[in-house]
């Protein structure tokens, strides 16, 4: 194609136009306006600008689920429920102080026990009794099939026990007991499944305990006993916790 003159509507493809110089930088944009608001147990300081950033703090407490008491010192018992130390666990729980007063709130007890063993003496047993607010909650001297055995021949001598006391009505709790029993070694403080010994796993919702004064003091306790009065049943560890319903 040929072009004649400057105004004939033609363009010469061989002509290359140079890029012009860069324009000036634009003005800075406005600062962001994201807003952080305070709420329940949350405080906010600052305006959120680069010179005054937000500082967010949690102002609540962990009182909804607290460890109330723990123990890891071994306690040996050779006597019966009336002998010293009685009990091996004893915790006074004040419902007002701990805010345990709403239906659905939970007091939880967990403990681990091991009895010494021998190859004989199949008639010797170890037992525990849990009490709350002056009431017997669970007693393996009554629920005898859950007693631990002194004989190491095929039997379990250790147990991990969990008790949930669930507030189920005004001044009433419903206990749920879980008992797991296996072979245990006192020296090494362990419990293990064994293919040559019996293992027991048991859970039961127990009858409600009524007539309590949950706003006051109620003692949660555990006592141990050895039926022969000479061999040791040992508390290895325990913890007491609370869980408050949201």
Number of separate domains in the chain: 1
Domain with 74 in it: what CATH number?
2.60.120
The reply to whether 180 falls in a domain is yes
Instruction: Name which of 96, 118, 109 is nearest 186 in CA terms.
Output: 118
Please say whether the beta carbons of 222 and 111 come within 8 A: yes
Report the alpha-carbon distance of residue 211 to residue 218 in Å, rounded: 12
The reply to whether 113 falls in a domain is yes
pLDDT at residue 62, rounded to an integer:
47
The reply to whether 139 falls in a domain is yes
The predicted-structure confidence for 76-100, as pLDDT tens digits, reads as follows 999 888 776 679 999 999 999 999 9
pLDDT in tens, the chain (246 residues): 555 555 555 555 555 666 667 778 777 766 655 666 666 556 777 776 766 776 766 555 545 569 999 999 999 999 888 776 679 999 999 999 999 989 999 999 999 999 999 877 678 999 999 999 999 999 999 999 999 998 877 789 999 999 999 999 999 999 999 999 999 999 999 999 887 778 899 999 999 999 999 999 999 999 999 999 889 999 999 999 999 987
The reply to whether 26 falls in a domain is no
> Domain containing 219: what range?
65-243
The reply to whether 16 falls in a domain is no
Instruction: Name which of 75, 76, 77, 74 is nearest 226 in CA terms.
Output: 77
The reply to whether 9 falls in a domain is no
pLDDT at residue 96, rounded to an integer:
94
Report the alpha-carbon distance of residue 71 to residue 78 in Å, rounded: 20
222 has which bridge partners? Answer: 89, 130
Report the alpha-carbon distance of residue 185 to residue 7 in Å, rounded: 106
Q: In degrees rounded to 5, what are phi and psi of residue 144? A: -70, -25
The predicted-structure confidence for 181-222, as pLDDT tens digits, reads as follows 999 999 999 999 887 778 899 999 999 999 999 999 999 999
Burial classification of residue 106, based on how many CB atoms lie within 10 Å of its CB (0-12 exposed, 13-18 middle, 19 or more buried): middle
The reply to whether 45 falls in a domain is no
The reply to whether 12 falls in a domain is no
């Amino acid at each position: 194609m040929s072009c004649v003159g400057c105004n004939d509507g033609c363009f010469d493809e061989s002509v290359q136009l140079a890029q012009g110089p860069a324009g000036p930088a634009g003005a800075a944009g406005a600062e962001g306006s994201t807003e952080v608001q305070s709420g329940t147990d949350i405080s906010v300081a600052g305006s959120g600008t680069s010179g005054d950033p937000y500082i967010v703090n949690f102002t609540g407490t962990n009182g909804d689920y607290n460890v109330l008491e723990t123990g890891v010192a071994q306690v040996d018992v050779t006597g019966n429920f009336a002998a010293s130390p009685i009990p091996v666990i004893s915790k006074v729980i004040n419902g007002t102080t701990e805010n345990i007063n709403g239906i659905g709130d939970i007091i939880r007890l967990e403990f681990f026990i091991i009895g010494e063993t021998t190859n004989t003496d199949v008639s010797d047993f170890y037992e525990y009794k849990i009490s709350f607010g002056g009431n017997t909650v669970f007693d393996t001297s009554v629920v005898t099939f859950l007693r631990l055995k002194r004989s190491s021949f095929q039997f379990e001598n250790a147990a991990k026990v969990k008790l949930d006391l669930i507030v189920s009505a005004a001044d009433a709790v419903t206990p749920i007991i879980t008992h797991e029993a296996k072979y245990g070694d006192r020296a090494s403080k362990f419990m293990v499944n064994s293919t040559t010994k019996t293992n027991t796993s048991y859970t039961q919702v127990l009858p409600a305990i009524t007539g309590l004064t949950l706003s006051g003091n109620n003692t949660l306790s555990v006592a141990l006993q050895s039926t022969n009065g000479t061999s040791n049943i040992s508390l290895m560890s325990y913890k007491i916790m609370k869980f408050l319903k949201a």
